[in-house]
Chain A
Amino acid sequence: MSGWKTVFQGVKRGISSGLFPDICFSCNRFIEKDISGDSEKDPVDGEMLAAETSERIFRTVMTDHLCCFCMDDFAPVTPPICPRCGVQFKSPAESDHLCGRCISGEGSGGGTRRNPFVSARACGQYSGTLKNMIHAYKYHGKTGLGRPLGTLLHIHFAKHYADAPIDCIVPVPLHREKLVKRGFDQVMGMLYHWPWTVAGGNRVLKNGSALSEKLLLRVKNTDTQTGLDRKRRSANVRTAFAVTDSERVKNKSVVLIDDVYTTGATLEECASAVKRAGARQIHCLTLARAM
């Protein structure tokens, strides 16, 4: 890069970070960083990073958004986990195995229903920094977090589904009324920042996975899931979702995207709807997983 370009970029960066200094999105303190090293930053390379640990991915993606203390306060999902629902086991000695709930085939609301999805994965645990960031993003109007969180989600998408080709990427939708109230769709706000290419009116990833934006509809404006127990959550979202066009998922492998996996009730309900429409295989990917 030529010297003048460096100077120009330096001035630009100086003005923007001078007016709006870097402040941690988790704890609202100033981000102290060594200014000598980072005047030139390479764009985040998703494919490279996908091979890294989820902690390293998080650190790289969030450099500009978190102070180093909050960076340390990120909890990755570490093995052993349940290969189906993704829950992390407490004892580190074991190897991955199905959890009791998944073995019994018990749905999140109790009762016996076939597990509608084959796997659920998350970028990190729903605690500490990631939880703060999701709160800032969803509830405190920091919509700008859509880009880094979206990037994080995309890298994890590449990490988890490298070997299992995915046909459709289906965001879990918000009800229209809730959308209007919140002012934005937190899942689409992240997905917009994925590296799509537009082919025939559809957004498609390099490996062929297509975004199926209007596939799922939230037909019931359910109460918020917050504060409800497992049973009530499940009852709350029952038959809340509908598939608009079954042809688009018939015999396809699908990834459902949501922000937080708490009890899995929402995702199970979505998965059931998609399954009924004829999907071959359903995965779930969320930003965070409550443990």
Chain B
Amino acid sequence: MTSVAPYDQKAAAAAITPGRCYHRPVIPLLFSLIAGILTGRHIPISWLTPAAFLLVFISMGWLVFSMIKKRPVACAPIILFFILGWLAISSFVPPAFPPESVLPFMDGTPRKISGTVVQPPVQAGFRTRCVLTDIEVHTGGDSPQRKALPGNIQLTVYGDAPDISPGARITIFRPIRPVRNFANPGGFDYRRYMAYRNTWGTAWDSGKRIEITTAENGKSILSVVSNVRMAIDRGIATINDEDTRAVLSALIIGKKDRISQELRASFNRAGVSHLLAISGLHVGIVATVSFFLISIALSRNTFLLKRAMVKKTGALLSMLFVLAYGMIAGMSPSTQRAVIMICIFLAAYVFDRQYNRANTVAAAALGILVVSPQSLFDISFQLSFAAVAAILMGLYWLPVFPETVDEPFRKRLLRVIAGFSWVSILAIIGTTPLLAYYFNQATLLGVIANLLLVPLIGFIVVPLGLTSALLYFVFKPAGLFGWSMADTLLQAALFIVNRIADIPYGSFITVTPSILELVCIYTLLISVPTLFFIRKKKKSEAPPHTCAGMHAKNEGNPILHYRRTIAAAAAIAAIVFAVDAAYWVHRRFFNTELTVTYLDVGQGNAAFIEIPGGKTMLIDGGGFGDNATFDVGAMVVAPYLWRNKIKSIDAVILSHPHSDHLNGLLYILDNFRIGKVISTHFPADSANYRRFLETIQNRGIDHPDFPDIHEESIAIADGADLRIFYPARSQTPERAPANLNNGSLVAKLSFNGTSFLFPGDVESTSEAAVVALAGQRLHSTVMLSPHHGSNTSSTPAFLDAVDPEVIVVSARRDRFGFPSDDVMERYIRRGYDVYQTETHGAVKVIVKDDRVEVIPTLKAGKTD
């Protein structure tokens, strides 16, 4: 029986002390889970660790106990989520990864391996990349046996790949290689990145050799979805224009790999690249349009009308549409996020609940992190939630132009445009620091571009394209006609994208902020506007039609109670940021040390030199056989420079135009301010070398003739000079050696009595010539091993002349088998300190006064 408790106003007032209850309950849980994941990334624990077990047990016990006793659960869930996050990420974190059972199979011997393709393969240029799971290694000679291995392998197929689709079983006869990192200070941890995807090995094969054993043709939902996607893809393929066709299939079925690099770059520069990834915007539009149409259709049904279930049913059915779109669109991580988020919003309708936007967004993030904790480190995860969080916060601070009753159309249009611009400004503010961190790009044009393109692409092209896809299965010509209309509209859109991207100074390259700087920037971005916008007794904050007067009297905005904390956080962030900036200015322009960093570029050379006073030099840029496969310049060298806040290089030196020295420089020449380029001008018949020369010419970079600089001491800064010994002045380009290696530029950098020799790839004949030309002047403290430690080089006579204390070998064995064991033995016998980029990672040599310090990135020199 109910007894109506007397209403006690005082008790009620006490119960609502601000901050006592969680307003948006999912947000603290989300943050504790994130904190747990971040902790687990650095300090792995496992379920078996007694401490972890105990902590889970205690927090669960506390939770259950307080529920039974009907006490507030207080921070028990927060602690529980923290530990769960910690545990969840730990299984992905090296050194526990790769699993021990696979280690014997990564010894470099070719084996017969089969695996099932899991995701749709990604195509880029002449190679197709896919992920294989359910790996089986065929062992044993006479009686064939199979051994199943855990986890995934990434397979790269070169050349014309047969039709690889998810579910196909592929067999190859190749060695499995471990996932390798470029171990440069602060560099991208590819091994960990792959570990998060449960992928521990890589293999490659030619498309002609791989064997597709079984391609699944069952009637499972997945294969139906895959067939539908392929059918739509074929339909879209009827569009003639290559660019619009690529963009339309990105928008409808999430297939982005046909979009050209140039178009992608234009989207980036214009600040609308988010339109190409199917995300909350697209899914939200699908949900809105389908909810609207379904509600209209259902509003004639008496049964639903009487039970007030029109909107509920509409929301439920829209959920199905959203799911269907998500599946057609390939369910990429960003699509999954959007689908979860939109479904939670629709669920509020279905269950007749009030919802809070920030809480719902946090719930979506929480859901994703519970399912796959490693998504926290996905760039797209971070970008989309940064954008959404910024939009929500901004609208909380400054809800522009509230809706008024019976406003005229012009005012309403103005309000929509203003609101829209505000939202895109907020999204840009929220993502810019992350974009600078990951892509070194910032754009000012995003606001205009979004204002034009989001309505055009989002509200017209996407719904049109999807409706056409639906029509296509009913009546083909209608679908094709719809797509051709979408094509016309997209051409207009791409025209706008390209025009905006071409605006000079519209977007610019930024240096990479450090994590500390990111934290400071975001702290300032959150705290300063909060302090500015949320002040005492702001009348306009009250909702228009309510009992808000009472709120204002009694509590005001609860955030007001934390004003001091927020102000302190802002002040600390500002101070830290200022100190950090001062440190970098000092380090960059007022340093007194000379630093030479031999970067880990895999097989190849790249050495970066920082000279007291702020001058910089880059000797070679590393490079793989083809930049389309992997651009060392873009992926390794440039990020290293940007991390060190370097945007300009005073001199770029190319020793000789082989791919492992030249290819990485192309990106550098395109994206940095270059003082001058020094090279031998010896001709090379390669497309990349022609591009190298073209870029120098197009950008008007100083490229002095070789005889002018030969043997000249190039004074770079006080006390530091560079001298080029080889090739001889007489060796004009016409008399270039047939073997490009033997035409390598040999240079020596001297500073305060310490010297560095950069001999390029000289082989024995040219080593003799160098010794004959320069003799004892070659003597150096540190030498880069000639020709990556190959046994064609490092002749005793040359080593005698240089007689270094330290030798750095910049190579990786998997391409040409450098360095040679004989040469390494020779170095050790002579008592040199040998550092290998393959085992030590990048090797940094610092000269301060007359002290020389060698700092390898990987201290123990073990393979990581």
Interface residues of A (CB under 8 A from B): 3, 6-7, 10-11, 14, 16-23, 25-30, 32-37, 39-40, 42-45, 48-49, 52, 56, 59-60, 68-70, 72-73, 128-129, 132, 135, 141-144, 146, 179-181, 183-185, 188-189, 192
Contacts and interface: CB of A to CB of B under 8 A. Distances in A.
B547 A32 contact: no
Interface in B532-588: 543, 545-548, 550-551, 554
Interface stretch (B67-75, B270-278, B430-438): B67-75
B24 A36 contact: no
A48 B1 contact: yes
Interface in B663-698: none
Given A30-B21, A60-B4, 5 more contacts: A23-B354, A29-B551, A30-B23, A69-B554, A135-B545
Nearest to B71: A36
B16 interface: yes
6 contacts: A27-B546, A30-B23, A34-B11, A42-B1, A48-B4, A68-B13
B311 interface: yes
A29 to B, nearest CB: 7
Contact of B24 (A21, A48, A49): A21
B305 A179 contact: yes
A43 B306 CA distance: 25
Contacts of A21: 22-25, 354, 356, 359
B310 A184 contact: yes
Contact of B308 (A40, A42, A143): A143
A18 B545 CA distance: 27
B859 interface: no
B673 to A, nearest CB: 52
Contact of A6 (B67, B73, B354, B359): B67
A31 to B, nearest CB: 9
Contacts of A35: 21, 72
Interface stretch (B344-352, B452-460, B497-505, B803-811): B344-352
B363 interface: yes
B355 interface: yes
Nearest to A22: B354
B353 interface: yes
Nearest to B349: A141
A43 B25 CA distance: 26
B300 interface: yes
Contact of A20 (B77, B348, B545, B546): B348
B628 interface: no
B67 A7 contact: yes
A182 B420 CA distance: 28
Contacts of B741: none
B308 A44 contact: no
Nearest to B545: A132
B360 A183 contact: no
B16 A32 contact: yes
A25 B354 contact: yes
B1 A45 contact: yes
A70 B352 contact: no
Interface string B383-424: 000000000000000000000000000000000000000000
Given A18-B26, A48-B2, A56-B7, A129 B543 contact: no
B299 A181 contact: yes
Contacts of A192: 306-308
Contact of A180 (B29, B300, B307): B300
A192 B311 CA distance: 17
Contact of A72 (B68, B306, B355, B550): B550
B548 to A, nearest CB: 6
A65 B265 CA distance: 51
The 3 A-B pairs of least Cβ separation, nearest first, read A144-B352, A184-B308, A20-B353
Nearest to A188: B306
A144 B353 contact: yes
B43 interface: no
Nearest to B351: A20
B355 A183 contact: no
B353 A69 contact: no
A183 B550 contact: no
B15 interface: yes
Contacts of B289: none
A70 B546 contact: yes
Kindly name the residue among A10, A34, A56, A69 whose own CB sees the greatest number of chain B CB atoms within 10 A: A69
Contact of B21 (A32, A49, A144): A32
